[in-house]
Chains A and B, each alone.
Chain A
Amino acid sequence: MEASPHEHEPENEREPIPAWSLPADAVDRIRLRHKWPERVTREWAWGEAGGEGVSVCILDSGVEAAHPLVGEVAGAVVVSRGEDETTIVEEDHEGDLCGHGTACAGIVRAIAPKCDLHSVRVLGAGYTGSGPVLLAGLRWAIEQGFDLINMSLSTTKQQFAGLLHELADSAYFKRTVLVASAHNMPVESYPWRFSSVISVGSHEETDPLTFFYNPEPPVEFFARGVGVDVAWMGGGQLRVTGNSFATPHMTAICALVLGAHPELTPFQLKNVLYLTATNVGGDV
């Protein structure tokens, strides 16, 4: 099925050409049309924007579409593996198998109400094979050209680290931003440790728009992740804690920024996030 690709215009009007080198007469070609103000504020970064025109993919356990806190789901697919290890992507009619994807979708909807939500279900069909399904689902989501992919999950399997790294880098260059949950346990896990993704840990404050830049990586940002009221299965609600709920907060803030500035590359988006972080310049 088709997902809505990037609908915004790139920085330059024509199709962007990778600039392998920059001859003198080509400087004009990469001139940035959108001037940034001397001081980047939240008012400039997103103002009254609600994430309009931004496509957000929830790569998780599915999303319960009829939930009042989630609203319309623009597209939902389930990813599985065929007998010959092929990837099967089918329309998903089951919704959410454990409630988690619905919770993430509800958080994004609450902060960026005008964004388009898409669900790619990669969890719930058994532990065995969950790694290849996750990779296949991520690859499919990147191919669709979603603006943002929320990954409130990670894998510890070394065998997937290289492939995940390649996928994360390809997403970065194709202007799809991966927002991934960091681990608060001393383990090597992915994809949050890759510098091409936005990695998120939790803070304990209650304001959904409070987020901190972390000058001590690998975790890049801290967002709200403690005592969050979220949508859950069966039209219900729960109060939850965990980095997996801080992540959709950051995804939603990215949606707000991209809604107001669709021309931003992932690199520029990270710059805006840094400049508007609560501990940098976000209080003005």
Chain B
Amino acid sequence: MSDDRFRTTVAAAVVGAEEAHRALLESIVQVARSIFSAKGSSIWLLDEEADELVISAVARDEERHLLGLRMPSSQGIAGWVLTTRQPIVIEDVQSDPRHAKDVAERTGYAPQGLMAVPVLHGERVLGVLQVLDRQTRFSLGEMDLLGMFGNQAAIALDLLQRARRAKAVLEEGEVDIAAVAALAAQLDELEDDRRAAGLALLQALRDLLRE
């Protein structure tokens, strides 16, 4: 396999992974919306470099225009959930006039109520999962359930971020990675004894590095 072909194959897998993970995130918010009989659901992803939260998945097609919307990482309810790692349920958000106006100006829609949980992966906080405007009153069991959904979202987000990093490395063509990629491509083109000898050599190198 040539270096270019190797890169193309890996890049295709990474891009495909990104799309699959997006679909997984969307599926999570859609199921969350359905289970909680809510009007909407969304996932805000933390962009650590910009110190901002970005809407990365929405449950309904009519909310798609919100994808990519940003806000400072510690503002509003989502920001509070992110920085404190604490889940929260708010009923009647409208009676918080500042919040309602602010959200409505940004999104064109001000929810009456919302529940939000941090999306945590190990010690990292990746974002916030929100469910908007439920039909019925909330119980503690449901908060645990939303927390479990948050965990599922965390796994999907972690995979998505890994895929993005891999893609960035491929696109930037870092010298070290390119050298390893070229070696893998050359090895792939060998046959029989030479291939076996090459693999044995690599195994020996791995053993050496492990020590």
A-to-B contact residues, CB < 8 Å: 61, 97-100, 123-128, 130, 152-158, 181, 183-189, 202-204, 225-227, 232-234, 236-244
- B contact residues around A153 at 8 Å (CB): 83-86
B136 contacts the other chain (Cβ, under 8 Å)? no
Tell me which residues from 163 to 204 in chain B have a Cβ below 8 Å from any Cβ of chain A. Answer: none
Which of chain B's residues has its CB closest to A189's CB?
Answer: B85
Residues of B at the A interface (CB closer than 8 Å) are 46, 48, 51, 72-77, 79-80, 82-93, 95-99, 115, 117-118, 120, 122-125, 137-140, 143-144, 147, 150-151
Decide if A240 touches B147 in the complex (CB within 8 Å).
no
Residues of B within 8 A of A225 (CB): 140
Residue of B nearest to A128 (CB): B51
Chain A residues near B124 (CB, 8 Å)? 156
In the complex, chain B residues whose CB is within 8 Å of the CB of A130 = 74, 83
A188-B123 in contact given A183-B85, A238-B96 (Cβ < 8 Å) = yes
Q: Are A124 and B88 in contact (CB under 8 A)?
A: no
CB–CB A123/B80 < 8 A: yes
By the criterion CB–CB under 8 Å, are A154 and B85 in contact?
yes
Report yes or no: B84 in contact with A185, Cβ–Cβ below 8 A. Answer: no
Interface centre among B77, B89, B117, B124 (most CB of A within 10 A): B89
A155 to chain B, nearest CB (A): 7
A241 B88 Cβ-Cβ under 8 A = yes
Residues of A within 8 A of B143 (CB): 184, 241-242
Is A239's CB under 8 angstroms from B83's CB? Answer: no
Asked if B120 contacts A187 (CB within 8 A), the reply is yes
A-B contact pairs, 11 of them (CB 8 A): A98-B76, A123-B80, A127-B51, A127-B82, A128-B73, A184-B87, A185-B151, A203-B140, A227-B138, A234-B97, A240-B90
